[in-house]
A = this chain, B = another copy of it.
Amino acid sequence: MATSTGAAKPSPNLVYQTLNAYQGTAALRAAIDLDVFTAIGEGVDTAATLATRCKAAERGVRILCDYLTILGFLTKQDRRYALTPDSAMFLDRRSPASMASTSGFLTLPGTVTAFMSLADAIRSGRPALGGEGSISAENPVWVEFARSMAPMTRPVAEEMAKVLDAGAGRKWKVLDIAAGHGTFGIALAKHNPNAEVFSQDWAPVLEVALENARAAGVEARIHRLPGSAFEVEFGAGYDVVLVTNFLHHFDPPAIETLLRKIRGALAPGGMVVTLDFVPNEDRVTPTRAAAFAMTMLGTTPSGDAYTAAEYLRMFQNAGFSSNDVRPVMASGHSLILSRV
């Protein structure tokens, strides 16, 4: 995210860079699709050899790799490209921390195209995506989300499991709302052999969560609750309710309705664990949490990045008395622990 440098003489550079910024998105998406980073990581390091390896035209590969060098994803010396430490860790598919798959969801062509009519969306008060945006029933975008975003989420889920002391092995009945890839519920099940996890999401999304649960060896303790979080029967007696990257899609009345429903499903002493982007009161810091509101503006009718004070009010209105906000996640997320 570019920031003002406070330079003495005005410059058009930031305007020009920002108007062209979509080319950075396009270039990184293309490089991931062509698997350029893995190839360079394996030592295929000139435009000509990369073109052969990636089954592409040399001019395109050369211009792409030069552009990635300018953006800081590659280095170039004597016409040979090399990975930066960031690219080696996060873009080479052989790396366990690879987040290459996230470009599938983060740069969905339909979403990018919709953003280009953002002014109309702001005028009309409707999402640029049209209709109900990403929160429409059974929206297939969440299958793409579940397939793409797990790698980016795993470190956050590990951090959450630690904060909740999952390793202590207490008998837990866990409700995982909008489970998506299932990563959060799976992390709790892995660290706590006495946790049973009930995962709610659209049925095709839960298929992905179950695949991931099988891969993690915990599928026997993951149970499906297919349907809308607002409509499906949760059951009762939950010790932990996970609400991860979900509340931001809705307006406060809808969120309070859901929180009341969740409260009714809690066991005595049970806890709601909300993971979300929570900006400061100024709504412009910290950068990543604050900037997330733009994604909600483009893709939802009334979603937002809510402040801690706003969440406190919503939880209180829904009958919760304690709210512990921890802005500790490496991903820029905050964790909110709430009890009745």
Contact = CB atoms under 8 A, between A and B. Distances in A.
Interface in A72-103: 72-73, 75-76, 84-86, 88-91, 99, 102-103
A107 interface: yes
A328 interface: no
Interface residues of A, number: 88
Interface stretch (A27-35, A138-146, A262-270, A317-325): A27-35
Given A34-B119, A119-B30, A60 B125 contact: yes
B107 A26 contact: no
A216 interface: no
B19 A22 contact: no
A128 B29 CA distance: 13
A27 B118 contact: yes
Given A21-B24, A22-B22, A304 B59 contact: yes
B123 A67 contact: no
A20 B14 contact: no
A19 B103 CA distance: 7
Contacts of A90: 10, 12, 15
Given A2-B2, A63-B304, A57 B21 contact: no
A103 B117 CA distance: 13
A61 interface: yes
B122 A4 contact: no
A12 B70 CA distance: 17
B290 A88 contact: no
Contacts of A229: none
Given A103-B19, A304-B59, A123 B64 contact: no
A166 interface: no
Contact of A64 (B71, B91, B122): B122
Interface stretch (A175-183, A196-204, A295-303): A295-303
A220 interface: no
Contacts of A33: 119
Given A63-B304, A116-B112, A30 B122 contact: yes
A194 B107 CA distance: 54
Contact of A297 (B63, B106, B302): B63
B118 A116 contact: no
Interface of A: 1-5, 10-12, 14-30, 33-34, 54-57, 59-64, 66-67, 69-73, 75-76, 84-86, 88-91, 99, 102-103, 106-107, 109, 112-113, 115-119, 121-125, 128, 152, 282-284, 287-288, 290-291, 293-298, 302, 304
7 contacts: A2-B71, A11-B86, A15-B28, A21-B21, A26-B115, A59-B302, A60-B125
